[in-house]
Amino acid sequence: MLKRPRLLLCLLPTLLLLAAGVVRAAPEVQPGDAVLNLLKDKGLLPDPAQLAAQLSTQMDDSPVLQQVRDTASDLVLSAMNFLGVRYRRGGTSAEQGFDCSGFTRYVFENSVGLVLPRRADQQARNAGLLDVKKDELRPGDLVFFNTMRRAFSHVGIYVGEGKFIHAPRAGGEVRVEDMRAAYWTKRFNGARRAELPAPQLNAQP
């Protein structure tokens, strides 16, 4: 299953940036904050007060961090819930395991209600998605790669700061990787974005 030390090394920069967006948006961490609660439950973050003290003077506001806190927040959080789920060809659920497009389809449908086509190449060509340039990526965008000598043969979900989450291959498990690594840079095919509705904020007492 999930190998936490390796996961921590891989995810720590992204997780700290996600948490930093929360810290900058609200100086005092609220008990109901979905991002920090999820990461705390997984043992991937220190105490929020300690984190705030460490990061509040180090991080500037970032469009990437802001995006995590708005329309793509639920989608990215949902995707991260499946870290460590095994790869299975044709798999479409956490119980079965996921293949790459089964994973993206499941996350989009169950987090934001958008039903994507089943295959990666069909998702890339979906008329309802917008083409996105690599330097304009935002968390929640679909990112596509040529890993089988054909265009759009692999897909994942961009999570920010050059990282994406995906179900990689047989024998692997859902994980976060760096798109800037040579392997992924050479195989990047493009990205697509769904126009997602802004989440409804709970009224404050």
* Amino acid 195: pLDDT: 79
Active site annotation includes 59 = no
The predicted-structure confidence for 168-187, as pLDDT tens digits, reads as follows: 999 999 999 999 999 999 99
Q: Is the pLDDT of residue 132 over 60?
A: yes
The full 3-state SS of the chain, as one line of letters, equals CCCHHHHHHHHHHHHHHHHHHHHHHCCCCCCCCHHHHHHHHCCCCCCHHHHHHHHCCCCCCCHHHHHHHCCCHHHHHHHHCCCCCEECCCCEECCCEECHHHHHHHHHHHHHCCCCCCCHHHHHCCCCCEEECHHHCCCCCEEEECCCCCCCCEEEEEEECCEEEECCCCCCECEEEECCCHHHHHHEEEEEECCCCCCCCCCCC
* Amino acid 115: pLDDT: 95
pTM of the predicted structure, to 2 decimals: 0.66
From 138, 154, 175, 192, the catalytic residue? 154
* Amino acid 150: pLDDT: 93
> Average pLDDT in the 56-78 region?
59
> Average pLDDT in the 116-127 region?
96
More confident residue, 65 or 160: 160
Active site annotation includes 90 = no
Active site annotation includes 166 = yes
